Structure 1
Amino acid sequence: MFFVYVLWSDKLKKRYVGFTSNLLKRLSQHNQGKSTFTKNGTPWALIYSEEFKTEPEARQREKFLKCGVGRKFLDSQLKNKDAGVSALG
Structure 2
Amino acid sequence: MYFVYILFSSKSGKYYIGSTDNLESRLKHHNAGATPPTKSGAPHWELKYSELLADRTSTLKREIEIKRKKSKQYIEWLIRSSS
Fold similarity call, TM over 0.5: yes
Distance of 2:70 and 2:9 partners within structure 1: 22
Q: Give secondary structure in 1 for the equivalent of 2:3.
A: strand
Q: How many residues align?
A: 82
Q: Which runs of 4+ in 1 moved over 4 A?
A: 69-72
Shift in Å, 1:71:
5.2
Superposed CA RMSD: 1.7
Identify the structure with bigger relative contact order (alpha carbons < 8 Å, sequence gap 6+). Answer: 2
* Map of 1:47 onto structure 2: 48
Shift of 1:76: 1.7
What letter is aligned with 1:36? P
Q: Percentage identity across aligned positions? A: 35
Residue of structure 1 in register with 2:82 after alignment: 88
Q: Which consecutive residues of structure 2, in runs of 5 or more, have no partner in the other structure?
A: none
Is 1:24 matched with 2:18? no
DSSP 3-state at the match of 2:36? coil
SS in structure 1 at match of 2:57: helix
Q: Give me the whole-angstrom Cα distance separating, in 2, the residues matched to 1:23 and 1:60.
A: 18
* Deviation, structure 1 residue 64: 0.6
- Determine which structure has more spread, i.e. the larger CA radius of gyration: 1
**Partner Cα distance (1:13, 1:35) in 2:** 17
Cα distance in 1 between the residues matched to 2:31 and 2:59 = 22
* Aligned 8 A contact 1:7 1:46 in 2: yes
- Greater helix percent: which structure? 2
